[in-house]
Amino acid sequence: MRLLVVPVFMVLTAPVLVAQDKTVDQGVYTSAQAARGAKLFESNCAMCHREPGGTAPVLAGERFTKTFSDATLQTLFTSIKTTMPRQAPGSLSDAEYVDLVAHLLKINSYADGMNELAVSDLGGIRIPGQSGSLDFALVQVVGCLAQNGRVWTLSRATEPVRTREPDAPKDDAVAQLDATTLGDRTFRLQQVYGAPAGWKDQKVVAKGFLTKSGNEDRVSVTSMRTLNSSCSPASPQ
């Protein structure tokens, strides 16, 4: 199965960012920052927050989502600063606690970005829940790839669903995605300037950042992959 990975360069003007909630889906820390946080976690937190055998809950997966869903990073920062390390809460610097926040985002599969997270950023960045606005979130959609001049669209598309992985789905996910019933949404695909022969009118899965311009829904694509089904009129999908 051929795979097309399209680099995305998301350009958002300052007024838009001020008007919209920023979420951790948007790459709010760096990999280097998360690496520093991992070292701090190992030396200060892992003794309690380990699995199995730890005396405190693991800070990843469903437990993390349920605890901090729809909270800001300020809430997460304050929570760990006032309770950790267990024997000496608040004993690390603010910068070190921010590095720990970055580590927790990393182990919960939120993608890193180009700029380091700062204390001053925390109150304006939200950890998304399963509900709420998807504006600027990293999403996945399945639909039919079409071209009109220089414009590429995904028609008969499903509703967008939040994802934490910008890369194309792996082989073991293709069958389930291919069985997805198509919908009635249409998305203009940005950062797509061409597709390999045979991709037009094919069922594809696309991932990217969801935006809106007027009445037009757009996806700034990070990856696309063809599925097995055709989108011809005779296709049941």
Above 90 in pLDDT, residue 119? yes
Above 60 in pLDDT, residue 52? no
Minimum mean pLDDT range among 85-94, 188-197, 209-218: 188-197
Minimum mean pLDDT range among 18-27, 62-71, 102-111, 112-121: 18-27
Q: List the CATH code of the domain at 3-17+133-230.
A: 2.40.50
Q: Rounded to whole angstroms, how far apart are CA atoms 217 and 210?
A: 7
Tell me the HSE value of 176 on the side-chain side, using a 13 A CA sphere: 5
Residue 93 identity: S
Residues 146, 126 contacting (CB under 8 angstroms): no
Band (pLDDT 50/70/90 cuts) for residue 56 is: low
Could you tell me the pTM of the whole model? 0.54
CATH of 22-126, one of 2.60.40.10, 1.10.275.10, 1.10.760.10, 3.40.50.2000: 1.10.760.10
**How much is the mean pLDDT over the chain?**
81
Minimum mean pLDDT range among 13-17, 30-34, 62-66: 13-17
Nearest alpha-carbon partner for 96 in 74, 118, 79, 111: 118
Above 80 in pLDDT, residue 54? no
Band (pLDDT 50/70/90 cuts) for residue 137 is: confident
CATH 1.10.760.10 in the chain, residue ranges = 22-126
Above 90 in pLDDT, residue 11? no
pLDDT, one tens digit per residue, over 164-189 is 677 888 898 889 999 999 999 999 99
State mean pLDDT over 55-68: 75
**% of the chain with per-residue pLDDT over 90:** 38
CATH 2.40.50 in the chain, residue ranges = 3-17+133-230
Long-range CB contacts for residues 114-122, cutoff 8 Å, separation at least 24: 114/27, 114/30, 115/28, 115/30, 116/29, 116/30, 116/32, 116/33, 117/28, 117/29, 117/30, 117/33, 117/73, 119/77, 119/94, 119/95, 121/28, 121/73, 122/72, 122/73, 122/74, 122/76, 122/77, 122/98
Residue 194 identity: G
